[in-house]
């Protein structure tokens, strides 16, 4: 096995998968991450735990791009929580808050895509590193999904706002 997983890595993976599941549930059920729902609270707690557990993980034995993405994802998540409280933003608060949450979800999966493709299937991973064509293609597809999803979410939020 080329990349054995540590105990911390296993905990991080489980926490991250729960966070992804809570985010997906929120998007499917509410078309957004609504901070008042149970799934959003699980997402928020999971995001914090996922980022903090990632700091103990590094194949390069130091700070890496995955850690940086985690910090940006955590900042975006915090933005999603606090933007609705900034009154000066007016009606844009909901759209900006949801973009921040959606961006944090996008960032959560960027290192996950690389790690999954370089570890699975066990013994014969699909990719040998972040430079692999399959990793780059998967990340490009994920970016496309993020752009399309954010656009549809923004339009949906506008249509909801115009009905009220």
- Is the pLDDT assigned to residue 52 strictly greater than 60? yes
Mean pLDDT value of segment 29-50: 94
Mean pLDDT value of segment 42-46: 97
Q: Chain-wide mean pLDDT for the chain? A: 91
C-alpha span between 24 and 33 (Å, rounded): 9
Q: Calculate the alpha carbon distances from 78 to 4, 27, 111, 127, 162 in Å.
A: 32, 18, 20, 33, 27
Residues of the chain with pLDDT > 90, as a percent, come to 72
- Is the pLDDT assigned to residue 59 strictly greater than 90? no
Comparison of pLDDT for 39 and 63, the residue scoring more:
39
pLDDT computed for residue 123 by the predictor? 85
Tens of pLDDT, residues 97-147: 999 999 999 999 999 999 899 988 888 899 998 899 999 999 999 999 999
Domain range annotation of the chain: 7-163
């Amino acid at each position: 096995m080329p990349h054995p997983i540590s105990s911390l890595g296993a905990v991080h993976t489980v926490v991250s998968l729960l966070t992804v599941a809570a985010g997906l549930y929120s998007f499917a059920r509410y078309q957004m991450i609504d901070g008042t729902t149970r799934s959003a609270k699980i997402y928020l707690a999971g995001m914090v735990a996922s980022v903090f557990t990632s700091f103990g993980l590094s194949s390069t034995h130091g700070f890496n791009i995955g850690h940086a993405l985690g910090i940006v994802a955590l900042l975006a998540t915090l933005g999603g929580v606090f933007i609705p409280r900034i009154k000066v933003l007016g009606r844009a608060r909901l759209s900006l808050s949801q973009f921040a949450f959606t961006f944090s979800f996008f960032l959560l999966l960027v290192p996950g895509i690389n790690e999954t493709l370089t570890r699975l299937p066990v013994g014969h991973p699909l990719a040998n590193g972040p430079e692999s064509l399959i990793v780059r293609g998967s990340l490009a597809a994920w970016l496309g999904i993020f752009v399309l999803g954010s656009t549809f979410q923004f339009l949906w939020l506008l249509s909801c706002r115009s009905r009220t």
